[in-house]
Amino acid sequence: MVTGSHNPKEFNGLKVAYDRATPWGDDIQSIYRMITADDMTAAERPGVYRTADISAEYIDMLVSKITLGPRRPKIVCDAGNGTGGLYAPEFLRRIGCDVTELYSTPDGRFPNHHPDPTKRENLPALIAAVKEGGADFGVGFDGDSDRIGVVDNDGEVIWGDRLMALYWSEILPKHPGAVAICEVKSSMALPETVEKLGGRPMWWNAGHSLVKAKMREEHALFSGEVSGHMFFADEYFGYDDAFYAAGRLARIISNTEKTLAELMRDIPLYPSTIETRYDCPDDVKFGVVERVKEAALAEKLNTITVDGVRIIYKDGWGLVRVSNTQPVLVARCEGRTKEALDEITKDMKRRLLAAGSPDFEWGY
């Protein structure tokens, strides 16, 4: 797939997939090395190139996967001038939703806002349209529509980890005891909700390729990322299709008399920083994380080390990990109270600076 995804408009790239997998890390580098060295094995028979428009078949397939309950949700759909406007409004209307469209015409210059629904600065138009139109919820898509952002009926943003908890509330009653792969950056509300519903949370690395690989290994029914990738394998194909994710949310709303805001009150919302990303050279960042981890283990602190180090405090947690794609450190903290969060951010910053991290400020 040719896509720049949610990157700035000047960027473009190729997304490679095969056998329901997305290569990453060394696999991506090996493809690059084969191409640059012209070291590729000739196929036994020539490949076939054909051009086809499968839009109608794709939308038909989506429609066949979602059957709404008695309520017909009212939705605002913000495509951000990406690909979402080509498919999402028609799909949602055909399953029975009342849809208001924002920025559905594809335009790679992104004249209205950048198509990244995980950043609050890209959501004011969606929030305003939901509140002014009395919608049940709003959905936003990134440029290639593999990530979803959601705004509830009160105009409050529902970030990816709490959205996953809501999806699990529909899945786990049908599949008690299912394993729930939780990205290490996620709020503690996610595993708490999964356990409350009878599921088995499992911490795992950040990154959609890694999450999908772990899902296949564990035969998991659903997982996702804080960044809005949602992977449904209970009734779908296990890849991140934001249109289908929107349809699943519509189905949840269609089967209840509660508002989305009311449903979300059952899922804790703890004080937290945002995912704080700050510059740190590649030749420094790995050492910083390793030293933070070694110090925490030496102190016999409760830690999760599947991806960086997540330190578990009495009333919250703090995480630091390296970015897989940039010379950047990624940190996040969460507390059960504002006071607990303040203490955790102070301690995590102290640990990071002592480990050789550049100075930084927490984002909220």
Contact (Cβ atoms closer than 8 angstroms) between residue 264 and residue 158: yes
Q: Which whole-number Å values give the CA distances from 148 to 83, 140, 242, 284, 361, in the listed order? A: 13, 6, 5, 33, 28
| CA atoms in the 13 A half-sphere facing the CB of 159 | 19
Residues sharing a CB contact under 8 Å with residue 185, sequence separation 6 or more, in sequence order: 161, 206, 225, 226, 275, 319, 321, 330, 332
Q: Is 323 noted as a catalytic residue in this protein?
A: no
CA dist 114 and 132 (Å) reads 22
Of 128, 125, 146, 129, the C-alpha closest to 82 is 146
CA dist 145 and 322 (Å) reads 26
Contact (Cβ atoms closer than 8 angstroms) between residue 299 and residue 312: no
Location of structure tokens 């080509």: 86
Bridge-partner residues for 166, per DSSP? none
* Cα Rg of the chain, angstroms: 21
Residue from 5, 145, 187, 272 carrying the catalytic annotation: 5
Bridge-partner residues for 164, per DSSP? none
Active site residues: 5
